[in-house]
Amino acid sequence: MDRLVINDLELNDKRVLMRVDFNVPITDGKVTEDTRIQAAVKSIKKVIVDGGKLILMSHLGRPKGEPNQTFSLKPAAKRLSEILGKEVKMAGDCVGSEVESMVNALNPGDVLLLENTRFHKEETANDGEFSSQLAAFGDVFINDAFGTAHRAHASTVGVTKTIKECAAGYLLQAELENLNKLQEAPEKPFVAILGGAKVSDKIKVIQNLVTKVSSILVGGGMAYTFLKAQKIEIGNSLLDDEHLSLAHNTLVVADNPHPHKKFDFILPSDHTVASKSNMAEFKMNDSVSIADDWMGVDIGSKTIAAFKEKILNAKTVLWNGPMGIFENDNFAKGTMEIANAVAEATAKGAFTVVGGGDSVAAIEKAGIRDKISHVSTGGGASLEFMGGADLPGIMALTKAKKKA
């Protein structure tokens, strides 16, 4: 990459301000799933070993710009202490004289976690004064929060205005290297599997991928908007009515692909459907069309077979979005079958990337997380990057000097 990375920095005896993504689920004051904390540990340990004084910043949830102990990062500090086997000091705020005193008291190898940056409305507004207050705590800055790299906030972009050396952490570096493999020279056949609810969430990804992929497989709620755009009856299935014309235009592009570039755009041909009034009542629907009073909740067996054939013959696979309401075991078959197919493709030598919170939850449920080439920690950031956007949190980092 053309930006500074953590290994480019001299960390010894430096105050190292690091943006991490500790936006983790917390119940009764305890972290219930620590993947995002674990993902930052490599960079954290690097700073500790190199003798840096580490100051961590993160957001948690949406406290709407004011202190709310429901969204306190104290449980994250406790969990990180357990992982590192050493004390992680916890600040009562992320700015102010008390925090400044705690920063000044740090010794090489110490770790301090600042309180939720979103307790201040100035964070999401990327306020200059607030950014300067945060930046004053660091001699160097490391961004290791890929999940927020698409946000131009004070703790991701604002602090870079006054800190001279701003670098990517190991997690951010790995994300970019792996996602760039999909963008630059993916080995063919390249299969993209897209699910989830809204067409609008994935449309830029589809538009960016049409010149790169061999096949796009569409499932989940968004599939019904595409089917409706083809004048197919979808009963009471989820419909992104606002973006129906967008779906139609995408289908036109799929039918008339880029010159000299042929790709398959495959929608479900059958479904599992449930009664709109009683989700406990469900059945197989062998037809592509769905009757009134029924709603599509998963892809059917014919669709699963067609999708699996494409996946198992692929050399590169991107998956973002489940195939149905997989949280309900009655409607999880499609998503689980696709998860296992992606794992099998990996075992056969394919390069596979899974991104998006629901997709990651699906591979966790299927027990195959460690059988995927790369699991992305960034939902919205992954989508925007794959849609061809420049991410503010990355563009703000210091450009690396070109080697002679």
Confidence at residue 259, expressed as pLDDT on a 0 to 100 scale: 56
Q: Does residue 177 form part of some domain? A: no
Q: Does residue 401 form part of some domain? A: no
Torsional sign, CA 122, 117, 21, 365: negative
* Same-domain status, 268 and 222: yes
Burial 82-120 (b: 16+ CB within 10 A, else e): ebeeeebbbbebbbeeebeebbeebeeebbbbbbbbbbb
Do 287 and 233 touch, CB atoms closer than 8 A? no
357 in catalytic set:
yes
Q: Does residue 308 form part of some domain? A: yes
- What's the per-residue H, E or C state across 133-167? HHHCCCCEEEECCHHHCCCCCCCCCHHHHCCCEEE
* Same-domain status, 267 and 163: no
Q: DSSP readout, 86-143?
A: S--EE-SSSSSHHHHHHHHT--TT-EEEPP-GGGSHHHHTT-HHHHHHHHTT-SEEEE
* Among 14, 15, 19, 36, the one annotated catalytic: 36
Total number of domains in the chain: 2
Confidence at residue 140, expressed as pLDDT on a 0 to 100 scale: 98
* Same-domain status, 209 and 239: yes
CATH of the domain at 89: 3.40.50.1260
10-residue mean pLDDT series, the chain (404 residues): 93 98 93 92 98 98 94 97 98 98 98 98 97 98 94 97 97 92 90 88 82 91 94 93 86 68 87 90 95 95 98 96 94 96 97 87 91 87 82 93 66
Confidence at residue 80, expressed as pLDDT on a 0 to 100 scale: 98
Q: Does residue 355 form part of some domain? A: yes
Q: Computed over its alpha carbons, how large is the radius of gyration of the chain?
A: 23
* Same-domain status, 155 and 189: no
* Same-domain status, 131 and 203: no
Confidence at residue 288, expressed as pLDDT on a 0 to 100 scale: 96
**Residue closest to 355 by CA, chosen among 199, 43, 146:** 146
Do 138 and 367 touch, CB atoms closer than 8 A? no
* Among 74, 357, 369, 387, the one annotated catalytic: 357
198 in catalytic set:
yes
Tokens coding 183: 């963008």
* Same-domain status, 210 and 351: yes
Q: Does residue 214 form part of some domain? A: yes
Q: Does residue 35 form part of some domain? A: yes
* Same-domain status, 258 and 150: no
* Same-domain status, 194 and 126: no
- 103-to-66, 92, 111, 167 alpha-carbon distances in Å: 23, 12, 9, 20
* DSSP tag of 70: G
* Same-domain status, 286 and 152: no
Domain limits for position 96: 6-172
Torsional sign, CA 360, 362, 365, 368: negative
Do 42 and 78 touch, CB atoms closer than 8 A? no
Confidence at residue 162, expressed as pLDDT on a 0 to 100 scale: 96
Q: DSSP readout, 307-330?
A: HHHHHHT-SEEEEES-SS-TTSGG
**Residue closest to 155 by CA, chosen among 38, 50, 89, 73:** 73
Q: Does residue 395 form part of some domain? A: no
* Same-domain status, 378 and 248: yes
* End-to-end Cα, the chain, rounded Å: 16
* Among 42, 161, 198, 302, the one annotated catalytic: 198
Confidence at residue 358, expressed as pLDDT on a 0 to 100 scale: 84
Instruction: In whole angstroms, give the CA distance from residue 127 to residue 116.
Output: 16
- pTM of the entire predicted model: 0.88
3-state secondary structure (DSSP) of residue 265: strand
* Same-domain status, 38 and 117: yes
Q: Which residues pair with 30 in a beta bridge?
A: 27
* Same-domain status, 168 and 301: no
Q: Does residue 402 form part of some domain? A: no
Do 142 and 9 touch, CB atoms closer than 8 A? yes
- What's the per-residue H, E or C state across 189-237? CEEEEECCCCHHHHHHHHHHHCCCCCEEEECCCHHHHHHHHCCCCECCC
Confidence at residue 199, expressed as pLDDT on a 0 to 100 scale: 83
Instruction: In whole angstroms, give the CA distance from residue 333 to residue 298.
Output: 8
Q: What's the burial of 403, exposed, middle or buried (CB within 10 Å: 0-12/13-18/19+)? A: exposed
